[in-house]
């Protein structure tokens, strides 16, 4: 089985006609539309600033996330806020506002980015390369930490399967798609509580997100997942209020945000993996590294695609430190676009 792991770097460098920071300066329309890396999620882009204003409960902590302390990452800053929120109810409101903010900016960014790339993406070309070389009955597992739906869009174009339900992600015999950090169009219904009844009395959809944020310390969120079609997220049919099903990016704490049966499928896929392709993933997610180290077969081929040789070496080092072994490790010296345009997947994907 081939397993491909996509991180934020894959979506960041997803359009081969618009290579990051090549001809486009920071602040340009292209760069402001590009899906952000983790450390860019709270940048002071005009569109991001407008989104923060939509969910004002998160405003007090934005300076910490725009300017993490020296030697720390955005993920570490968010992790500290989450730990503090366990004893500070306003912190729960702030984190819920951040979920809505992430849901909103990635949805909007994805829409703007699609207007630029017009469907010509490295995701689509990679899937086409996989399809050309995939043997009959050979299975592929696509694991992504990204909230956007670029992979699903490419999958529909290349494989011909439209994903309209949560089951569609894992029901295909040939392909499984696992979104470990959730998706911009996934929501979780709010369970029955007095607070839920109060939310159901909010009739203006634009007011629902901030009502959910305000009541978040007393809400109970279901483990059920639903596909949603509105941004910002509000209600499903039948007056059901839904909560954004996407994980706040952390490094150490368990933060998977997907249905339990998707995780069961993932564990089975990991056990059967013979080739592992890593694209744009920094290998800093401790829970997933642990899952890989405990279940991946040792006799496997590993390829790491990162923004440069130094970044790729760092990924390989983190994987090695986590106990991930293999019969051969390879890495590229440049990113997703070079990997695609240079036909560097050909040899790796060859049976």
* Domains detected in the chain: 2-16+120-181+253-349 (3.40.50.1220), 29-116+188-246 (no CATH)
3-state percent breakdown (helix, strand, coil) of the chain, nearest 5: 50, 15, 40
What pLDDT shows up at residue 163? 94
Distance between the two ends of the chain, CA-based, in angstroms? Answer: 11
What pLDDT shows up at residue 158? 96
The DSSP symbol for 334 reads: B
Q: Using CA atoms, how far apart are residues 74 and 80, in angstroms rounded to an integer? A: 10
What pLDDT shows up at residue 323? 93
Question: In which residue ranges of the chain is pLDDT below 50?
Answer: none
Give the closest residue to 236 by CA, choosing from 195, 163, 186: 186
What pLDDT shows up at residue 24? 65
Q: Using CA atoms, how far apart are residues 85 and 106, in angstroms rounded to an integer? A: 24
Tokens of 10: 């894959």
Output the pTM of the full model: 0.94
């Amino acid at each position: 089985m081939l397993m491909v792991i996509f991180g934020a770097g894959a979506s960041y460098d997803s359009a081969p006609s618009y290579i990051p920071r090549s001809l486009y300066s920071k602040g340009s329309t292209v760069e402001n539309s590009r899906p952000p890396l983790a450390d860019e999620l709270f940048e002071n882009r005009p569109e991001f600033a407008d989104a923060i204003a939509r969910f004002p409960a998160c405003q007090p902590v934005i300076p910490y996330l725009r300017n993490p302390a020296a030697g720390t990452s955005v993920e570490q800053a968010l992790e500290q806020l989450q730990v503090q929120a366990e004893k500070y109810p306003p912190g729960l409101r702030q984190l819920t506002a951040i979920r809505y903010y992430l849901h909103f900016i990635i949805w909007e960014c994805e829409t703007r980015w699609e207007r630029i790339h017009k469907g010509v993406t490295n995701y689509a070309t990679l899937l086409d390369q996989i399809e050309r070389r995939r043997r009959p009955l050979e299975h592929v597992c696509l694991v992504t930490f990204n909230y956007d739906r670029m992979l699903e869009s490419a999958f529909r174009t290349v494989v011909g399967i439209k994903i309209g339900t949560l089951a569609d992600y894992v029901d295909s015999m040939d392909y499984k798609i696992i979104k470990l950090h959730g998706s911009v169009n996934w929501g979780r219904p709010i369970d029955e509580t007095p607070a839920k009844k109060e939310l159901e009395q909010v009739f203006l959809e634009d007011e629902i997100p901030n009502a959910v944020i305000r009541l978040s310390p007393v809400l109970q969120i279901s483990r059920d997942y639903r596909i949603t079609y509105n941004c910002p997220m509000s209600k499903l049919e039948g007056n059901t209020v839904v909560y954004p099903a996407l994980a706040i990016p952390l490094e150490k704490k368990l933060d998977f945000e997907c249905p339990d049966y998707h995780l069961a499928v993932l564990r089975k896929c990991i056990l059967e993996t013979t080739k592992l392709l890593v694209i744009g993933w920094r290998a800093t997610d401790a829970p997933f590294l642990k899952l890989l180290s405990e279940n991946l077969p040792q006799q496997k081929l590993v390829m790491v695609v990162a923004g440069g040789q130094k970044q790729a070496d760092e990924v390989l080092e983190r994987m090695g430190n986590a106990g991930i072994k293999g019969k051969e490790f390879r890495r590229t010296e440049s990113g997703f676009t070079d990997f695609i345009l240079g036909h560097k997947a050909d040899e790796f994907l060859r049976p």
